[in-house]
């Protein structure tokens, strides 16, 4: 697919997906969602890429939300279909085995907050703003916000944000656990973090993601079984043998990703 609304760059083992509609504050319409999906699928299938970073262009917004002009004349069925498309794309981001980091500089509102929450974790600049303000437009979040927000910040805080539509700053997002860090040099920090993740045993990194994602959706006993199964599978990899041998020999491990 030829990309018009996103940019996809690859450097070393890291891919950077940039939502590139700065004049619209990177708002999400159908075409943009489809391009995000295609870009994520490309990263998923590229064996040379270990980590994906998602960010927004322009310095004002990560993603300011779904495109209101695009949604203005939708009927109930069209609204539902648009919501399902957003859910499908964000679920893809959430479920690919490779780690995905949201690098947020500016507004992450509505669909933008939902996109950020579909990533494994979030790092932001001090000028970032977060929220699910949809009730101010007389709609609910439609791209997973009502489900991921309480899983990340807890039910009570999520309901307050959802019911009021309040927008919070970076410090409050950090306080409630919506973001991991607030940093000055955002992309430098996130790239350094991505490189660190890419230097680890990649099968183990991906199994960690599967264990957390699958385990959080079930009871603790089933979750422990999931962890034990994946832990055992690690011992069938070349990287496990290299990692433990390097530790014993007091040298840096040279992982090959399998």
The pLDDT score that the predictor gives to residue 256 is 87
Residue keyed to tokens 């437009």: 137
Query: Is 256 within the bounds of a domain?
Result: no
* Structural domain includes residue 193: yes
178-189 average pLDDT score: 97
Q: Is 17 helix (H, G, I), strand (E, B) or coil?
A: strand
pTM of the complete model: 0.95
* Number of domains composing the chain: 2
Mapped onto helix, strand or coil, the DSSP state of residue 165 is coil
Average pLDDT over residues 218-240: 95
Does 133 fall in a domain? yes
Mean pLDDT of 11-25: 95
Q: Grade residue 180 by pLDDT with cuts at 50, 70 and 90.
A: very high
* Residues whose CB is less than 8 angstroms from the CB of residue 40 and which lie 6 or more positions away in sequence, other chains included: 17, 52, 89, 92, 93, 96
What pLDDT does residue 1 have? 77
Where in 140-228 does DSSP place strands (E)?
167-169, 181-182
Same domain, 137 and 235: no
**Domain identity same for 226 and 103:** no
pLDDT of amino acid 158: 98
Residues 206 and 194 in one domain: no
Q: In what order do the strands lie in the sheet with 167-169?
A: 61-63, 107-109, 129-131, 167-169
Q: What angle is formed at CA 141 by the lines to CA 148 and CA 20, rounded to 5 degrees? A: 90
Q: Which of 198, 219, 236 is where one domain is finished?
A: 198
DSSP 134: G
Residue 232 has a pLDDT of 96
Nearest to 120, CA basis, from 136, 89, 98: 98
- The gap from C-alpha 24 to its chain's centroid, in whole angstroms, comes to 21
111 and 216 share a domain? no
pLDDT (tens digit per residue) in 46-72: 999 999 999 999 999 999 998 899 999
Residues 96 and 149 in one domain: yes
Do 127 and 147 belong together in one domain?
A: yes
- Identify the three-state secondary structure at position 181: strand
Mean pLDDT of 133-143: 96
Q: Which residues of 158-191 are buried (b: 16+ CB within 10 A; e: fewer)?
A: beebbeeeebbbbebbbebebbbebbeebbeebb
Q: 229 lies in a domain?
A: yes
Catalytic choice (35, 134, 242, 249): 134
Whether 97 sits among the annotated catalytic residues: the reply is no
Whether the per-residue pLDDT at 204 is higher than 80: the answer is yes
Q: Whole domain around residue 92: which residue ranges?
A: 6-198
Of 28-42, 104-118, 214-228, 244-258, the poorest mean pLDDT is in 244-258
Please provide the average confidence, as pLDDT, over all residues in the chain: 96
DSSP class of residue 24 equals G
CA distance 162 to 166: 8
Dihedrals φ, ψ of 18, to 5°? -110, 125
Same domain, 15 and 134: yes
Domain co-membership, 110 together with 14: yes
Same domain, 168 and 230: no
Among residues 180, 198, 216, which one ends one of the domains? 198
Positive/negative CA dihedral, 100, 101, 106, 107: positive
Do 101 and 218 lie in a common domain?
no
User: What CATH number did the domain enclosing 211 receive?
Assistant: 1.10.12.10
Q: Is residue 152 part of a domain?
A: yes
Q: Which one of 177, 198, 219 terminates a domain?
A: 198
CB 123 within 8 A of CB 103: yes
Instruction: Report which secondary-structure segment, H or E, holds 208.
Output: helix 202-215
pLDDT band at 177, cuts 50/70/90?
very high
Q: Looking at the domain assignment, is residue 128 inside a domain?
A: yes
- 69-96 tens-digit pLDDT: 999 999 999 999 999 999 999 999 999 9
User: Is the same domain home to 235 and 174?
Assistant: no
78 is catalytic: no
Predicted confidence (pLDDT) at residue 37 exceeds the cutoff of 80: yes
Predicted confidence (pLDDT) at residue 43 exceeds the cutoff of 90: yes
pLDDT of residue 166: 97
Do 126 and 183 share a structural domain? yes
User: Measured between alpha carbons, how far is 202 from 205 in angstroms, rounded to an integer?
Assistant: 5
Is residue 110 a contact partner of residue 66, using CB atoms and an 8 Å limit? yes
* Contact (CB, 8 A) for 17 and 40: yes
Q: From CA 29, how far away is CA 65, in angstroms rounded?
A: 9
């Amino acid at each position: 697919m030829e990309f018009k609304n996103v940019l996809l760059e690859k450097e070393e083992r890291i891919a950077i997906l940039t939502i590139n509609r700065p004049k619209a504050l990177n708002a999400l319409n159908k075409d943009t969602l489809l391009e995000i999906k295609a870009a994520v699928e490309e990263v998923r299938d590229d064996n040379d890429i270990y980590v994906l970073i998602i960010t927004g262009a322009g310095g004002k917004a990560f993603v300011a939300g779904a495109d209101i002009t695009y949604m203005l004349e939708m009927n109930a069925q069209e609204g539902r279909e648009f919501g399902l498309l957003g859910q499908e794309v964000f679920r893809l981001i959430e479920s690919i085995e490779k780690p995905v980091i949201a690098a947020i500089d500016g507004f992450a509102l509505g669909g933008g907050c939902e996109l950020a929450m579909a990533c494994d974790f979030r790092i932001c600049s001090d000028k970032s703003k977060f929220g699910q303000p949809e009730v101010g437009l007389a709609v609910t979040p439609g791209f997973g916000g009502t489900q991921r927000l309480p899983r990340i910040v807890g039910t009570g805080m999520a309901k307050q944000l959802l019911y009021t539509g309040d927008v919070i700053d970076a410090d409050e997002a950090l306080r409630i656990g919506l973001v991991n860090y607030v940093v000055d040099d955002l992309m430098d920090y996130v790239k350094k973090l991505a490189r660190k993740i890419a230097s680890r045993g990649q099968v183990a990194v991906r199994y960690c993601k599967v264990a957390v994602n699958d385990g959080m959706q079930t009871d603790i006993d089933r979750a422990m079984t999931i962890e034990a199964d994946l832990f055992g599978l690690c011992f069938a990899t070349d990287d496990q043998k290299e990692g433990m041998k390097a530790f014993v020999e007091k040298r840096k491990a040279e992982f090959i990703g399998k």
